[in-house]
Amino acid sequence: MITNAAPIVTRRMGYEDSYTLSRYLETGGYDGLKRALTMSREEVADQVNRASLLGRGGAGFPAGRKWSMLRAAPTSYLVVNGDESEPATFKDHLLIERDPHQIIEGALICAYAIGAAQIFIFCRGEFALGLERLQQACNEAYRIGAIGREIFGSSFSIDLVIHPGAGAYICGEETALLESLEGKRGFPRIKPPFFPAVQGLYGAPTVVNNIETMSNLPWIVLNGGDAFSSLGEGSSAGTRLFALSGRVNRPGWFELEMSKTTFRDLIFDPALGAGVPDGRSLKAFIPGGVSAPWFGPNELDLGLDQDAVGKAGSMLGSGSVVVMDESTCVVRAAWRITRFFHRESCGQCTPCREGGGWLEQILRRIEEGEGREADLDLLMDVCDNIAPGLTWPPQQTTICVLGPSIPSSIASSIRMFRDEYLAHVRERHCPMGGHR
């Protein structure tokens, strides 16, 4: 079902000039920040807690709880994670290019609530236009008194820096992002401490929140946390921006009320994905970025709900859904995803650095018709070394979750399409049309 819930983070997307200051101000821009500044810090944080806003980056950690974990210290920081790189995810890219002021306003509200000393918006380096729009918006926000000293006449002062990344998937991992922001290689930090709220940027307590998470804050402050949590269901509150791609007639982004809409709605509804092209049937889909195990047609009626997807053995993750149709070679798809993880492994941990490479080579040889039947067990064995037991959520033998994400595609596709893997081996070529 598609509900009539009004869009929150994409409400300006109908305007060609949605990214400009004049359009932003005409459509209620910076009213949320002004309201927040009339409230106490605790009241702002309380509204976000009441909203039950789950982080929109991928892990789905409650934003309010993240803030409350901040260790008391003379200096703390807010870092906004705009290093969107999870394959098939393109929602933050949209928000950065089309509504940069909304991100800045949300970040200012968050910084006020947590008492941060400085804000850094870490924007993926490849988003050249996005970086320009963010910097432009930052310059404008200073000029109208929304950033800087004594913001809008209050006692709240803060600086905000737009920081460009330089191309590395791993920097989406929050501790790797902080290393990168300190001018180093993007190596995830050894845990514990588990949370940057304890030890973050320059060792100071730091909140790291996603772009979409920040973009929700102006609305939550203006409309109240209860209005937000009345949307969606249970722990999956509010609306969420979903990115749909692959073999669908209408790939694109859709802001939908959580839980209420199903994957079937998202993929097949004429107003959303409008189904699979050329009259083909759906073979499989990835429910939340390529770190998530795949689903098949049996899971289409699951709601876009963090808990429901988790219980079914995958994750809503970054909210990006990829559709594969009957013409898709699953070995080739799993191989390409595995090659991505292998390339993007930072190299610190052996299971990820070596395992990813071996898995990629085995998948490639199966796809090229050089595989053996024993390769299927070998794949599962290597996967088991990276994520022991192949449970969901996965066990971890590595510093960060990049490694344990590698088995997701492989284990789930072998489980669903064992015969197709075996056909590659027995027929000594790809039965799906001999790609590559």
The distance of closest approach from Cβ of residue 223 to another protein in the complex, given in angstroms and rounded to an integer, is 29
Among the listed residues 53, 57, 92, 146, the single contact to another protein using CB under 8 A: 92
User: In the stretch 189-218, what mask flags binding to another protein with x, by CB under 8 A?
Assistant: -------------x----------------
The distance of closest approach from Cβ of residue 33 to another protein in the complex, given in angstroms and rounded to an integer, is 16
Among the listed residues 118, 154, 223, 396, the single contact to another protein using CB under 8 A: 118
The distance of closest approach from Cβ of residue 348 to another protein in the complex, given in angstroms and rounded to an integer, is 12
Q: Which is nearer to another protein, 168 or 220 (CB)?
A: 168
Amino acid at 60: G
Integer Cα distance of 208 and 179 in angstroms: 13
Among the listed residues 67, 112, 127, 219, the single contact to another protein using CB under 8 A: 127
Under rule CB under 8 A, residue 251 binds another protein: yes
Neighbours of 265 (CB within 10 A): 20
Q: Got the DSSP string for 74-114?
A: S--EEEEEE---STT--HHHHHHHH-HHHHHHHHHHHHHHH
Amino acid at 317: G
Under rule CB under 8 A, residue 22 binds another protein: no
Under rule CB under 8 A, residue 136 binds another protein: yes
Under rule CB under 8 A, residue 51 binds another protein: no
Strand 77-82 to strand 282-286: parallel, antiparallel, or no bridges (unpaired)? unpaired
Q: Which residues pair with 244 in a beta bridge?
A: 252, 321
The distance of closest approach from Cβ of residue 315 to another protein in the complex, given in angstroms and rounded to an integer, is 16
Which residues, numbered 268-287, are part of the site for another protein (CB under 8 A)? 286
User: In the stretch 142-181, what mask flags binding to another protein with x, by CB under 8 A?
Assistant: xx---xx--------xxxxxxxxxxxxx----------xx
| DSSP label at residue 295 | B
The distance of closest approach from Cβ of residue 183 to another protein in the complex, given in angstroms and rounded to an integer, is 3
Q: Which is nearer to another protein, 140 or 236 (CB)?
A: 140
Among the listed residues 27, 75, 154, 249, the single contact to another protein using CB under 8 A: 75
Among the listed residues 128, 374, 419, 426, the single contact to another protein using CB under 8 A: 128
The distance of closest approach from Cβ of residue 257 to another protein in the complex, given in angstroms and rounded to an integer, is 21
How close are the terminal C-alpha atoms of the chain, in Å?
40
Cβ 132 vs Cβ 171: under 8 Å:
no
Among the listed residues 290, 363, 400, 425, the single contact to another protein using CB under 8 A: 290
Under rule CB under 8 A, residue 117 binds another protein: yes
The distance of closest approach from Cβ of residue 227 to another protein in the complex, given in angstroms and rounded to an integer, is 30
Please give the helix or strand (H or E) that residue 243 lies within, else none. Answer: strand 239-246
Region class of 155: left (phi > 0), else alpha (psi between -120 and 50), else beta: alpha
Q: Got the DSSP string for 325-394?
A: ETT--HHHHHHHHHHHHHHH--S-SHHHHHHHHHHHHHHHHHHTT---THHHHHHHHHHHHHSGGG-SSP
210: tokens are 């996603």
